[in-house]
């Protein structure tokens, strides 16, 4: 018998964390950071509810911080074993965790300035670069489809998830006495099958227990062709009005997809803007990692990009200007119109995009494109929900810019895609829906029941199940 405890990403999207106990071993599946409201993010400072030193192995499905962001803290609290992932995940993880460590230090230094003046106790950063380096040193990589033993009688196999570079569906096999086996499958974040660069998620046929994401469990994404038509129309409207286009984009995955589409527009001669700024050091570095692992791209897109210039994303869009330095970023503020500015953070809760908002959000000729999910409590969610005024960098700004949501760019599968992937199992596993707000989980559970006749459960935080 195996036990699984739901430690995170339960009835919410972020903070992925599940504790598996079997054969006298403890395996942590995911170690994600909680994101959103300030009160939710405060949870990241709590000590783990289990003893990190007692773990035998850690498995990470992909490098997004809501799945991996607390790894350095896990090491700081005593874990010293292997961390299993794919090579592409490892390539991105170094970038993302190092960036997160620097952000933790900056935020802590900023907070401690007023704490010192107020006579309050000073804070320590959530973790340091030294903790991050220690975590990265523990990474062990496995190619897709390669089964690896990670603990006594426990093995893991990663399968393509199509979400971001190196993202994986995690298949854990538990070998018990008398040649019995139990199989746990974690969908990770399943990719949108309309995404341009990565291969489709691998379909599986067998599982005893399935943890399945439900980020968009309540709806389908728009048809890609319609999304691209609207994207082109927004760019044309911004050109006609003389304003800029701002795209708050996740540095990993979403940005590379957008660069690919802008490159297609440019190659077709329909992109009127003559300057595209990639204003994110992380996104610039992530794009270079994508290019390094472009063997994992869809064959058709890899051939198309390979037929132009140097065969990489950076040269696929010739008008792209990367602005890694602060000085280059600040210089963009002098551009009052005719530019496309791609900057992080994707949910607008920090990063360079908020500085560009300061110079553009109050302008009615500006267009802002939200190309993906905006979690509750983030600035991006408030803008999508129609806020007329927002506070940015200690200033109250009127929102006069045109706000557009293009769900077709999502890197997550929509409801029909989730159910189609699920339908490949020969018989119904015991299904638990995770990584979704409660209403999304409920909608997906109802749809699974209606279309497949299968029961899907919605776990409670810290619920423990035997399988």
Question: What pLDDT does 150 receive?
Answer: 98
Question: What pLDDT does 340 receive?
Answer: 98
Three-class DSSP category at 231:
helix
Question: What pLDDT does 42 receive?
Answer: 84
Examine the pLDDT at 284 and tell me if it is beyond 70.
yes
Cα–Cα distance measured from residue 105 to residue 379, given in angstroms and rounded to the nearest whole number = 22
Residue 312: CB atoms within 10 A of its CB come to 16
Tokens of 38: 């300030």
Please state the rounded mean pLDDT for residues 212-217: 96
Query: In the chain, pLDDT over 90 holds for what percent of residues?
Result: 84
In the structure, how many helices (H) and strands (E) does the chain have? 15, 22
For residue 27, name the pLDDT band (cuts at 50, 70, 90).
very high
- E-strand ranges in 80-147 read 83-85, 139-141
Please state the rounded mean pLDDT for residues 364-382: 89
The residue among 428, 432, 434, 415 whose CA lies nearest residue 454 is 428
Question: What pLDDT does 309 receive?
Answer: 63
Three-class DSSP category at 59:
strand
**Is the CB of residue 314 less than 8 Å from the CB of residue 322?**
yes
What is the rounded average pLDDT for all residues in the chain? Answer: 94
Please tell me the total number of residues recorded for the chain in this structure.
467
Question: What pLDDT does 351 receive?
Answer: 86
The residue among 382, 381, 385, 449 whose CA lies nearest residue 415 is 449
Question: What pLDDT does 48 receive?
Answer: 96
| DSSP character string of 281-345 | HHHHHHHHHHHHTGGGB-HHHHHHHHTSTTSSHHHHSTTEEE--SHHHHHHGGG--SSEEEEES-
DSSP state of 69: T
Examine the pLDDT at 437 and tell me if it is beyond 70.
yes
**Is the CB of residue 69 less than 8 Å from the CB of residue 33?**
yes
Please state the rounded mean pLDDT for residues 154-181: 95
Q: Which has the higher per-residue pLDDT, 37 or 377?
A: 377
Pairing mode, if any, of strands 154-160 and 168-175? antiparallel
**Is the CB of residue 294 less than 8 Å from the CB of residue 302?**
yes
């Amino acid at each position: 018998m195996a036990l699984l405890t739901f430690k995170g990403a339960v009835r919410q999207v972020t903070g992925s964390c599940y504790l598996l106990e079997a054969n006298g071993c403890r395996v942590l599946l995911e170690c994600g950071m909680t994101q959103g409201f300030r009160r939710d993010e405060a949870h990241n400072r709590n000590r783990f509810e289990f003893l990190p030193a007692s773990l035998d192995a850690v498995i990470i499905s992909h490098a997004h911080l809501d799945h991996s962001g607390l790894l350095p803290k896990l090491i700081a609290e005593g874990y010293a074993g292997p961390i299993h992932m794919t090579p592409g995940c490892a390539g991105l993880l170094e970038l993302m965790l190092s960036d997160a460590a620097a952000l933790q230090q900056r935020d802590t230094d900023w907070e401690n300035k007023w704490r010192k003046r107020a006579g309050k106790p000073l804070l320590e950063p959530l973790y340091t670069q030294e903790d991050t380096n220690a975590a990265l040193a523990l990474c062990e990589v496995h190619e897709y489809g390669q089964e690896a033993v990670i603990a006594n009688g426990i093995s893991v196999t990663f399968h393509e998830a199509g979400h971001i570079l190196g993202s994986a569906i995690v298949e854990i096999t538990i070998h018990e006495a008398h040649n019995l086996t139990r199989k746990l499958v974690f969908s990770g974040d399943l990719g949108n099958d309309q995404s341009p660069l990565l291969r489709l998620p691998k379909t599986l046929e067998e599982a005893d227990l399935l943890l399945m994401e439900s980020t968009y469990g309540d709806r389908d994404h728009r048809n890609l062709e319609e999304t691209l038509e609207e994207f082109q129309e927004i760019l044309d409207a911004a050109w006609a009005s003389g304003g800029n286009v701002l795209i708050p984009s996740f540095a990993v995955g979403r940005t590379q997809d957008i660069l690919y589409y802008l490159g297609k527009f440019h190659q077709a001669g329909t992109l009127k803007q003559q300057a595209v700024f990639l204003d994110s050091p992380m996104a610039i570095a992530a794009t270079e990692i994508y290019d390094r692992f472009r063997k994992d791209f869809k064959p058709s897109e890899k051939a198309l990009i390979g037929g132009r210039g140097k065969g990489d994303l950076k040269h696929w869009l010739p008008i792209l200007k990367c602005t890694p330095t602060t000085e280059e970023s600040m210089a963009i503020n002098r551009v009052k119109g005719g530019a496309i500015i791609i900057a992080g953070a994707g949910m607008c809760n920090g990063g360079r995009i908020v500085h560009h908002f300061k110079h553009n959000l109050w302008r009615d000729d500006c267009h802002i494109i939200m190309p993906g999910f905006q979690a509750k409590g983030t600035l991006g969610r408030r803008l999508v929900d129609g806020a007329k005024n927002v506070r940015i960098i200690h200033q109250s700004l009127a929102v006069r810019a045109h706000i557009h949501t293009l769900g077709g760019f999502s890197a997550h599968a929509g409801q029909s895609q989730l159910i189609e992937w699920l339908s490949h199992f020969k018989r119904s596993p015991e299904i638990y829906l995770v990584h979704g707000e409660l209403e999304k989980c409920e909608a997906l559970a109802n749809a699974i029941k209606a279309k497949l006749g299968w029961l899907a459960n919605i776990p409670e935080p810290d619920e423990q199940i035997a399988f």
